[in-house]
Structure 1
Amino acid sequence: MTHLQPDDLIEADLTGLASLIARQATHAGDFPTRLPALSLHRRTSPTDPMPCIYGLGLGVVAQGSKQVLQQEAVLHFRAGQGMLTSIDQPVVSHVAQASVAKPFLGMMLTLDVSQIMRIASELQLPPPPKAGTHQAIVIAELDPGLVRALERLLGLLEEPELFDHLAPLVQQEIIVRLLVGQHGMALRHLIATGSPMQQIASVVAWLKQNLAEPMRIEHLAERVHMSPSTFRQHFRTLTGVSPLQFHKQLRLQEARQLMINQHLDAGQAAGRVGYESASQFSREYSRAFGAPPQRDIRRMRQPG
């Protein structure tokens, strides 16, 4: 009997994972699933670099590759790797390898911080060391157990009568495997009470829920019991941008999604996220996405 080595096992499991994604994502595009936290992605050609914000979650490439620009670093994200984002990160990303014959196939599983905290507590994991750098994005090889768990989750999409009962259990398994694997330290920093990552993450969550509110540094710093200067320093260290730049990017990304998903016009979307000047919104949108709102949305709706 032939025994598979770890690398061979990953390759075998990736073939299965890619097949499961391809059966659900039948053409180029982004595909939500019956699990709100899970989306599937297919591209048949390389894409243009595009600004976006990666939130708390696990991205997986089953076939092809992506390139992600985080601050000044260029991250290469290829098949067989998982990318964990532990705190919202403004990035510029694009699919680097994809063709009709061998499309890019990937998945994104959004994670819930309260569920991570509960499972970490049950596992009785030691707190992370206070010293050292806290990486907000960690790209690491997928271990065979995690790949199999991801396959089980996708396989349940084809068993709708079992999905609601079993999917939550598989989600918990995935979080357990992340916490004890190579991605675990980033998650433990996120949930460590009083850690800079945990404090800044709570501010980011508040900003996302209150996009139309004016942003005041003093108010945000007070929420996490920091001085304004210390708050600015921690915020930039963890997100790569200033609080003001981050808030602007959040607003623009949300306005973009409103125009795509709810078919709002530029003026309506701008007002919804707190812009008082439509011309200022259009200028900042064009700088961020390389085209005025109307032209950009037409481009986004084109398959590819």
Structure 2
Amino acid sequence: MSCSQLAALQAAVSRHCPEKVTHTAFDFLTLYRTETVTDPVLVVYEPRIYIVVQGQKILHLHDQPLPYGEGQYLISTLDLPVSGQITRASAEKPYLALCLSFSPAEMEQLLRESQSAISPQARKLTFREESSSPISAMGVSQITDDLLDALLRLVSLLAREGDQTFLARLYKKELLYLFLHGQQGHVLHETAHGKSDLSRINRAISHLRLHFQQQFEIGTLVKIAGMGQSSFYKRFGELTGMTPVQYRTKLRLQEARRLMVHEDMKAASAGFQVGYDSPSQFSRDYRKTFGRPPQADLRYIRRMGVDAYKQQHEDVWF
């Protein structure tokens, strides 16, 4: 990886991202900056490509750590509830990152237009081997010089006058092509095919995210995925690192915490609101996830300052 190219990209991102979050003129590109480390925060990572150009952070995927930092990118291909924490940032050397959004339709079109196929070498490599990730739907890889060059050209477009949307979309297509032929290309390849296991599990997760507060049989997800029961549970675990029940619990606890902090809801009411029948079970799950029981956690957040807490939630998304 070229140090000079990385330094140029760091300067460009810093110049165009004076605030915590900058939604650029290109709807698929978001820039991020923070000057302090953060506490662990439970969030849901959506399917995106996240590139860290300066600093470091760590994700916990159901208690399994996945660090990534300067000169690395992370690809997430499913909606995944994770605990994220920025671990290296300062006023002198802030954490800087950018995010590229993409859709399965875009990947499918790119494959069709380029007649791309995953290289024999990439087929032999598993997502876990390449990225050291404990799951198959999220992994970390090193940025190559080709990627650095394309990223720098994309971010540099922000400094040019006039509407650069046409060029930006060409650069995005180039980047997706490079990612497709990179270490994690095979998992991106799967996102483009509606009959792949990843796409089937994604349909089940979409239903789960919409209805996590309701009581329903987990077997419903098996039907939505259109898979056999044993295959569904096996692939769900491989892709997400957790069971469907554990996934639903993460969503429920994240929403309960939001209700308590943002809407001043009592802990018991928040638990019932997100689908818990037992306050004691809610308290046990909450403590296991956040390290403190609900009331103690709320007192901690208030001591920190609600505004600071909300800011950490914004910072940790990238």
2:111 alignment partner in structure 1: 120
User: 1:74 is matched with which residue: 65, 69, 79?
Assistant: 65
* Aligned ranges 1:235-246 → 2 under 5 Å: 235-246=236-247
> Structure 2-normalised TM-score?
0.76
Aligned to 2:47: 56
Q: What residue identity is the alignment partner of 1:186? A: V
Q: Aligned partners of 1:45 and 1:196: how far apart in 2?
A: 39
Q: Is the 8 A contact 1:138 1:186 kept in 2?
A: no
Q: Find the residue that maps to 1:41 and give its secondary structure.
A: strand
Partners of 1:34 and 1:89 in 2: CA distance: 27
Corresponding position of 1:219:
220
Secondary structure of 2:162's partner? helix
Contact 1:192 1:198 in 2 (8 A): yes
d(CA) in 2 for partners of 1:259, 1:173: 44
- Separation of aligned partners in 2, 1:126 and 1:230: 26
CA displacement at 1:188 relative to structure 2: 1.5
What is the CA–CA distance in structure 2 between the aligned matches of 1:41 and 1:256, rounded to whole Å? 24
8 Å Cα contact 1:45-1:100 kept in structure 2: yes
Which position in structure 2 is the counterpart of 1:98?
A: 89
- Identify the residue that residue 18 of structure 2 maps to in structure 1: 26
Amino acid of the residue matched to residue 111 of structure 2? A
Matches within 5 A, 1:178-197: 178-197=179-198
* CA–CA distance in structure 2, aligned partners of residues 49 and 157 of structure 1: 32
* TM-score when normalising by structure 1: 0.79
SS at the partner of 1:182? coil
Aligned with 1:11 (options 3, 23, 33): 3
Answer whether contact 1:90 1:249 (CA < 8 A) is retained: yes
The answer for unaligned runs of 5 or more in structure 1 is: 1-6
The equivalent of 2:310 in structure 1 is 301
Task: Give a deviation string over 1:118-139, Cα, whole Å, max 9, x none.
Answer: 1122222337859966632221
> SS state of the match for residue 178, structure 2?
helix
**How large is the Cα RMSD of the aligned pairs?**
3.6
CA distance in 1, matches of 2:250, 2:54: 30
Deviation at 1:101, TM superposition (A): 1.2
Shift of 1:148: 2.3
Shift in alpha-carbon separation, 1:130–1:149, aligned structure 2, 3 A: closer
Distance 1:78 1:32, change over 3 A: same
Report the secondary structure of 2:39's partner residue: coil
Q: Deviation digits for residues 95-129 of structure 1, max 9, x if unmatched? A: 22222211111112222121112112222233785
Query: In 1, are the aligned partners of 2:48 and 2:76 still within 8 Å (CA)?
Result: yes
- The residue that corresponds to 1:83 in the other structure is 74
* Number of residue pairs aligned between Structure 1 and Structure 2: 293
Identity of aligned residues (%): 27
How much does 1:259 deviate? 8.4
